Structure 1
């Protein structure tokens, strides 16, 4: 008789196991097999308190070194990246902290003017939502959605939690407050339907390795190597997609890749992908979720 200690492990209950090669076949618009998107994270941080990525050793607040390094992204890096996206004609899935509407509204307005998708990314990355009580988390999701609608004209359909921090109820609350998809789960190369109290919520693949924070800041990878990583990932997924439709996201932050010496390498990587635009669907996460709704009605 087996020991109770080795019974079934706790499970999230949001979706079951599914092997990548055992699923219904489908194609993206125009018969494409590989969908590629930029997950461009524009963030604002509280001065003198809270969380934030760090360039150097963390100092007691006010941590001027790390705060101003991140703020470079909003003052300079974001505009350099925008010039690059414009030059290559690439859309962006723009993930925004709503605190930016007060701090530097011109930044978000520039992406809205391009027709880019605005995706909810909390009010500030100085805090996590995973430890919030249910009603406080619900209030955050509603406030961000309404604020984006008010200032940018379209309510967001997607969400990425600051620091990808979830409570056990986050998928339920997202579906209940009008969001159609989440970028928090990074477990697949195809969209996955998640069960929630309010019905289906799409999980759109979001990269945790093809992501400048864990690679460049966490693993201390040089940008030329990160750029090559983007190229290699794209080339391999282009081959893999001959057999089934896939999603490739690239997660970027302007205070990192907007630094001039890094931007040169990002340009090389994105030029490589743009040269294959006839072979791929370069899109946004919201359009991917919309395509899944069309192909797999609820």
Structure 2
């Protein structure tokens, strides 16, 4: 198909085989605090500028620094109150820059997955050796600091190469958050006999988009989260769905925003009879063990499967995506 990256099969949502989450839950719900470091004067990348104005620019740097100094502690308080363990989208350099935040996450038994080294250094133009080095550093650094073996990946600032997914599978990752094609997990096409799934993340209810692009009010954002959840809960009665809320402390944690977010999180976690409040790693592990093969069989039976793995763009088009 012209321009199709061929990373996954087209798999119509209607009439899929039933996904049942543990305990018969209808929605698998996870929260992804992005714990990031933005450099004041990062190295340039010809494909994308890290800051809108010439840098070094202390204004946006300090706004994001506020998130690490103040905002994360507010997010943690709200998530503690609602009994939610985070799945941390981690700029791995944070292990060195702000180990206090990492220790607080470890104390709460939060999951970590890699979001690259810095959110101001992009994958665009990386060689295979450079990309391997980032992945290997992420695995080793998080293990050394927390004891965890990371199983998920979100490319820094949503930048990838044509080989990213194949490398993740090779390094025994379980899930990628870099694709936004579905409300259920789905097998991805990777080389060899490896397995990797696309984990439902979100742009629509990501606070970067709702505040930075849609310019929603805090109350409107909270209402969006609750309506998003209500729809997934209704559909989850037929087959289990996934809801993720990606958060950034420098956005959602401001004093005038945190209250409405707390209301939305209380509302969602107040449906625990129907909601599996969990982590991305636990969702991936359960899906791989119980529904991965079922999904492949359904795709094959419907005639949806296409040959090939990885990027397969038209010859004149670039294989590299944009944010």
Determine if the TM-score, normalized by the shorter chain, exceeds 0.5: yes
Distance, in Å, in 2 between the alignment partners of 1:191 and 1:84 is 27
Aligned with 1:280 (options 241, 251, 275):
275
Q: Please state if 1:214 is matched with 2:209.
A: yes
Distance, in Å, in 2 between the alignment partners of 1:226 and 1:194 is 31
Q: Please state if 1:76 is matched with 2:70.
A: yes
Partner of 2:296: none
Distance, in Å, in 1 between the alignment partners of 2:238 and 2:149 is 35
Distance, in Å, in 2 between the alignment partners of 1:274 and 1:253 is 20
Partner of 1:3: none
Partner of 1:193: 187
Partner of 2:168: 174
Partner of 2:3: 10
Query: Shift of the alpha carbon at 1:20?
Result: 0.8
Partner of 2:56: 62
Partner of 2:244: 249
| Counterpart secondary structure, 2:15 | coil
Unaligned runs of 5+ in 2: 294-323
Residues 66 and 297 of structure 1: is their aligned pair in 2 closer, same or farther, counting only changes over 3 Å?
Answer: closer
Q: Which has the higher contact order (CA 8 A, sep 6+)?
A: 2
Supply the RMSD in Å over aligned alpha carbons.
1.6
Partner of 1:203: 198
Distance, in Å, in 2 between the alignment partners of 1:118 and 1:44 is 15
Distance, in Å, in 1 between the alignment partners of 2:37 and 2:287 is 32
| Counterpart secondary structure, 1:185 | coil
Number of matched residues? 288
* 8 Å contact kept, 2:19–2:291: no
Unaligned runs of 5+ in 1: 1-7
Give runs of aligned pairs for residues 249-268 of structure 1, distance below 5 A: 249-268=244-263
Give runs of aligned pairs for residues 287-298 of structure 1, distance below 5 A: 287-296=282-291
* 8 Å contact kept, 1:52–1:125: no
The C-alpha deviation readout for 1:158-200, integer Å capped at 9, x for no partner, is 0111121111111001111221110111100110001211422
Q: Please state if 1:113 is matched with 2:115.
A: no
* 8 Å contact kept, 1:157–1:286: yes
Tell me the TM-score normalised to structure 1 length: 0.93
Partner of 1:4: none
